[in-house]
């Protein structure tokens, strides 16, 4: 891959907001996330979207975990839906989720949904039927393990796998070396006609033609919940960016920069996903005003 096709560098920051803008200008985001055993994923994803500038965030989740989360994310609205016996979203939630997605500008699907067979079937059907830009993360990706060839959508699609999830999606593609990561991300992006964010050291953001290696982030971010924050950020930025590739680059860069600022203040060992949320504001300020 040529240097022009494998670029590093800082993506352009978000433009300043117009003085007369309102919350509808910055996107209605639907988050489909959470389960009894992974309830925090929904909260982290929703807060990631809000911290990345989303105007409105609605969280669809199993009714089994709804009461525990209401007080954690005050700025979101909630859509509690029927649960399976395992505390995951039941398939009977399908119609309600289709309606909710039709009212959104972008959707994040997957964080903390769990691996129940009924929920995985629901995820696959939703991913193919939702006619809005989509971020597919975590258990949303696992629902397509070994069947990624089914993932053909007309609307913008961003997949955000870590190496383990990528291996389940594409078991024959190696992602051990930097060159393999670049090639594998681009190949998957070409297959789905979308964007792939292959997370890890030197996160790769790729579409079928270009691949970018992110320059922010640190090992302290290797902690549970970090990816949930990124998924919400990416969904929000799909609405306010010119194209899915730029949205994903912006999300990954700001996410990593927040991690670097948190590391500088707290160290790598104690850095947690909630710290990323706390430092996203300073990260956007630093990005937009690098001399400050």
The domains of the chain, with CATH numbers, are 24-286 (3.40.1190.20)
Tell me the pLDDT band of 66, cut-offs 50, 70 and 90.
confident
Q: Are 219 and 208 in contact (CB under 8 A)?
A: no
What is the pLDDT averaged over residues 113-138? 97
- Residue 2: what pLDDT? 39
Q: Is the pLDDT of residue 259 over 70?
A: yes
**The pTM of the whole model exceeds 0.75:** yes
Burial of 61 (0-12, 13-18, 19+ CB in 10 A): buried
Q: Is the pLDDT of residue 4 over 70?
A: no
Mean pLDDT, the chain, integer: 94
Q: Is the pLDDT of residue 118 over 80?
A: yes
Q: 187-197, pLDDT tens digit by residue?
A: 999 999 999 99
- Residue 8: what pLDDT? 75
Burial of 215 (0-12, 13-18, 19+ CB in 10 A): middle
Burial of 91 (0-12, 13-18, 19+ CB in 10 A): middle
Q: In the structure encoding, which two tokens stand for residue 274, read together?
A: 């909630």
Find the range with the poorest average confidence among 32-41, 125-134, 171-180.
171-180
DSSP helix/strand/coil, 189: helix
**Cα four-point dihedral sign 105, 111, 114, 115:** positive
């Amino acid at each position: 891959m040529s240097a022009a096709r494998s670029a590093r560098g800082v993506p352009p920051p978000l433009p300043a907001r117009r003085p007369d803008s309102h919350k509808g200008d910055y996107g209605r985001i639907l988050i489909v996330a959470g389960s009894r055993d992974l309830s925090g994923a929904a909260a982290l994803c929703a807060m990631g979207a809000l911290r990345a500038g989303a105007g409105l965030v609605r969280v669809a989740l199993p009714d089994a975990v709804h009461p525990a989360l209401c007080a954690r994310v005050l700025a979101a609205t909630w859509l509690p839906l029927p649960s399976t016996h395992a505390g995951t979203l039941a398939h009977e939630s399908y119609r309600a989720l289709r309606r909710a997605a039709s009212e959104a500008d972008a959707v994040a699907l997957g964080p903390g949904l769990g691996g129940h067979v009924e929920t995985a079937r629901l995820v696959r059907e939703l991913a193919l039927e939702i006619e809005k830009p989509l971020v597919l993360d975590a258990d949303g990706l696992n629902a397509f393990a070994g069947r990624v060839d089914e993932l053909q959508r007309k609307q913008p699609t961003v997949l955000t796998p870590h190496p383990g999830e990528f291996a389940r999606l594409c078991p024959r593609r190696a992602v051990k070396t930097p060159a393999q990561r670049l090639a594998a991300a681009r190949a998957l992006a070409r297959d789905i006609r979308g964007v792939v964010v292959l997370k890890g050291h030197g996160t790769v953001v790729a579409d079928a033609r270009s691949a970018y290696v992110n320059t922010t982030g640190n090992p302290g971010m290797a902690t549970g919940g970090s990816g949930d924050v990124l998924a919400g950020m990416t969904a929000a930025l799909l609405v306010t960016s010119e194209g899915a590739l730029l949205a994903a680059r912006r999300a990954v860069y700001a996410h990593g920069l927040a991690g670097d600022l948190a590391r500088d203040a707290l160290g790598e060992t104690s850095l947690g996903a909630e710290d990323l949320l706390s430092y996203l504001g300073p990260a956007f300020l630093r990005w937009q005003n690098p001399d400050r």
